[in-house]
């Protein structure tokens, strides 16, 4: 059962969208972030969570994808207009941390076949994993377009050493209804991860990249 006030949520979203799309238009598409403050939670003692959820609507407008694979995988990527790196290219990096780090910064998500995923640590070292960019499985008969669509809608919740976290839940190009759906899904999922549910939530804000926070709980 959500404790969000629907009227307050919608009014906050309308104000946020008006500011970003009418009052102060930017030269880029602003992200809308859900900012979370927790209470009655001890990160050093209570279980830290790390989980992902695919929302109803995309959370970013400019996701950058790259396929790491054999010739067949690379051909599939080329057909979809997606960047790719061949096994030979990966081998040429010689596990050079600077080169691999530069590659990781260029893309949001990597895909790789099951056979190649097993060899990624041997080919590139641990850098991709440490940067939270380890490839996602690209099944032999998988639909790359569908996999990319899921990633565009996926948010990750990770509890670290502090009592606040933030996740992107859309952009200012989303409609009011789309943001409402994404926010409800995100908050309800977050509550399910918390030890005491809503009792662990102190405050919830939504904020566009250049806008001011708006409290929704």
Give the mean model confidence (pLDDT) for residues 21-42: 91
Of 209, 205, 208, 150, nearest to 36 by C-alpha is 205
Each residue of 162-213: pLDDT tens digit? 889 999 999 999 999 999 999 999 999 999 999 899 999 999 999 999 999 9
- Identify the three-state secondary structure at position 94: coil
- Answer whether 73's CB lies under 8 Å from 138's CB: yes
Say if residues 208 and 32 touch (Cβ distance below 8 Å). Answer: yes
Strand pairing category for 136-137 and 164-171: unpaired
Contact between residue 191 and residue 197 where contact means Cβ atoms under 8 Å apart? yes
User: Whole-model pTM?
Assistant: 0.84
Pairwise CA distance, residues 13 & 20, whole Å: 11
Is there a contact between 65 and 108 (Cβ–Cβ < 8 Å)?
yes
pLDDT band at 158 (very low <50, low <70, confident <90, very high): confident
- Report yes or no: 84 and 109 within 8 Å, Cβ to Cβ: no
């Amino acid at each position: 059962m959500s404790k969000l006030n629907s009227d307050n949520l919608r009014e906050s979203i309308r104000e946020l969208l008006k500011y970003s799309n009418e009052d102060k238009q930017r030269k880029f598409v602003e992200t809308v972030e859900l900012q979370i403050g927790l209470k009655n939670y001890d990160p050093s003692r209570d279980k830290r969570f790390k989980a992902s959820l695919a929302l109803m609507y995309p959370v970013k407008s400019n996701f950058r994808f790259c396929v790491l694979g054999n010739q067949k995988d690379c051909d599939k990527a080329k057909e979809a207009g997606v960047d790719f790196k061949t096994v030979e290219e990966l081998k040429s990096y010689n596990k050079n941390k600077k080169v691999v780090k530069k590659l990781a910064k260029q893309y949001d998500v990597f895909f790789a076949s099951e056979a190649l995923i097993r060899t990624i640590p041997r080919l590139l070292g641990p850098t991709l994993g440490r940067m939270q960019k380890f490839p996602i499985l690209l099944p032999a008969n998988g639909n790359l377009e569908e996999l990319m669509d899921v990633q565009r809608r996926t948010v990750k919740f990770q509890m670290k050493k502090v009592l606040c976290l933030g996740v992107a839940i859309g952009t200012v190009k989303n409609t009011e209804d789309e943001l409402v759906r994404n926010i409800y899904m995100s908050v309800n999922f977050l509550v399910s991860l918390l030890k005491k549910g809503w009792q662990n939530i102190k405050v919830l804000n939504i904020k566009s990249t250049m806008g001011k926070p708006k409290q929704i709980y």
